[in-house]
Amino acid sequence: MKELLLLLLVVTEASSRSHSSWCKRGCDCRGDLKFTICSRAHFTQMPGRVPPNTELLDLSDNRISVIPERSFSNNRKLRFLLLQNNNISVVENAGFSQMEFLQKLDLSWNRISALSEGFSVGLALLRELQLAHNRLTGLDSRSFLHLDGLQRLNLSSNSIRTIQVRSFSSMSSLRQLHLQDNQLRSLRSGIFSTLRSLELLNLAGNQIADIEVAVFKPLTSMTLLDLANNQMSTIDFKTFLSIHTYSTHVLLEDNPWQCDCDLQRVFWKLRSIQRLFLDDYYNLTCEEPAVLRDYRLTDVDTELCLAETVTVLVISLTVVVTLLAAMLMGERKRKKEKRRKHWTQQGELSDESDY
Ligand SMILES: *[C@@H]1O[C@H](CO)[C@@H](O)[C@H](O)[C@H]1NC(C)=O
Ligand SMILES: *[C@@H]1O[C@H](CO)[C@@H](O)[C@H](O)[C@H]1NC(C)=O
Ligand SMILES: *[C@@H]1O[C@H](CO)[C@@H](O)[C@H](O)[C@H]1NC(C)=O
């Protein structure tokens, strides 16, 4: 057994060495050339030659700035491609084409500001795309056109302000969408309309104040919706009522809640929906009115509608009193009238008797 292992090692070693001319200076080629590690090799452009057997190519922490067209056409066995922490601002059309086995592509920590229509050509089997810490400002229907098999998309820490309807339209298999720490202000109905497999939607750390009622409705597999650290001061009950899932956890911490009777009522109704779990409800704090700033909603919520109830009571009482007074006055006036009539009649009678 031991001999066999040794023999295997020697054979692997030998075959690596026999291909070593393939391994570019600065790279480390291992495992029968299946792993090509060129991290921190000071490359400013794509290495010209990568062993064609390579399944994992690590080009992270270099200074590559352009992905030219068909960069990987000689590496069609690639399954993992790591390009994080470079200086990439341009991905030429079809830069990643013909990579039919690629499962994971890491482009995080680069300078990508736009995704062209050709960006996703040839990536139909990609399962994970990392694009965090880039400079994207918007997504549209061409951004991810060909990513039919994608399961995890990480777009956190960009500057995304707008998401057009159909931006994610090819992604019926997507399970995780990370959009935290962007610049979103509103969520329009239809932007998530095809994401029926989506389990996790992270929207924390944006500036969302405005959510259209039907936006979460298509997300029938969603188990976690993170809306913490946004700009919501109120919420619409119908938006959350329209989430038709088996069970969904919702996070709402660090929003500037306007603590009034309406908010208290909405939360009271939300908490009665069996399939929704407001995990951080006990951590929600008020921003407005000023007298309640930094108070926990749970500490004041029994009083929020109290003031309103008192006001309603006072108004009702006033109305009742006014009505009663009016009735009394009317009654008195009627009696007076009656008495006056009575006296006049008697007067008339006595006048008559004088004759
Ligand atoms: C990064 O790329 C830009 C052009 O896109 C270039 O001006 C800059 O010098 C590059 N930075 C480094 C560190 O290579
Ligand atoms: C998203 O990207 C950030 C930055 O690279 C990373 O820290 C985080 O773990 C990623 N999240 C997922 C779920 O891949
Ligand atoms: C509530 O806040 C505390 C302190 O900030 C934190 O430790 C805890 O995890 C939060 N709870 C939830 C459910 O987020």
Residues 169-214: tens digit of each pLDDT: 989 999 999 999 999 999 999 999 999 999 999 999 999 999 999 9
Mean pLDDT computed over 232-261: 94
To test the pocket of ligand 2, the residue of 108, 150, 175 to mutate (highest count of ligand atoms within 8 Å of its CB) is 108
Q: Report residue 205 as tokens.
A: 């750390």
Q: What pLDDT score was predicted for residue 111?
A: 97
Please determine, for residue 1, whether its predicted confidence score (pLDDT) is greater than 60.
no
Q: Cβ distance 160 to 184 under 8 Å?
A: yes
Is the bond preceding 47 in cis, omega lying within 30 degrees of 0?
no
Share of the chain above pLDDT 90, in %: 58
Q: What pLDDT score was predicted for residue 8?
A: 44
Residues 6+ apart with CB under 8 A from 24: 38, 47, 48, 49, 50
Residues 6+ apart with CB under 8 A from 87: 63, 64, 65, 110, 111
Pocket of ligand 3 (CB under 6 A): 253, 279-280, 283
Which has more pLDDT, 299 or 15? 299
Confidence of residue 349 (pLDDT cuts 50, 70, 90): low
pTM as predicted: 0.83
Pick from 37, 38, 89: nearest CA to 68? 89
Interatomic CA distance for residues 282 and 259, integer angstroms: 14
Please determine, for residue 70, whether its predicted confidence score (pLDDT) is greater than 70.
yes
**DSSP letter at 296?**
B
Q: Cβ distance 65 to 43 under 8 Å?
A: no
Please determine, for residue 312, whether its predicted confidence score (pLDDT) is greater than 90.
no
Q: Tens of pLDDT along 285-298?
A: 999 889 889 999 88
Q: What pLDDT score was predicted for residue 18?
A: 39
Q: Cβ distance 159 to 137 under 8 Å?
A: yes
135 Cα–ligand 1 center, Å? 14
Confidence of residue 65 (pLDDT cuts 50, 70, 90): very high
Pick from 61, 56, 27, 28: nearest CA to 44? 61
Please determine, for residue 353, whether its predicted confidence score (pLDDT) is greater than 80.
no
- Confirm or reject: Cβ of 154 under 6 Å from ligand 2: yes
- Confirm or reject: Cβ of 89 under 6 Å from ligand 1: yes
- Which atom number of ligand 1 is nearest to the Cα of residue 90? 5
Q: Cβ distance 138 to 112 under 8 Å?
A: no
User: Which string of DSSP letters, residue by residue, matches 47-61?
Assistant: -S---TT-SEEE--S
Confidence of residue 71 (pLDDT cuts 50, 70, 90): confident
Mean pLDDT computed over 329-351: 70
Residues 6+ apart with CB under 8 A from 323: none
Ramachandran sector of residue 229 (left: φ over 0; alpha: ψ -120 to 50; beta: rest): left
Mean pLDDT of the chain: 86
Query: Which ligand gives the minimal distance to the CA of 151?
Result: 2
Q: Tens of pLDDT along 314-323?
A: 666 777 777 7
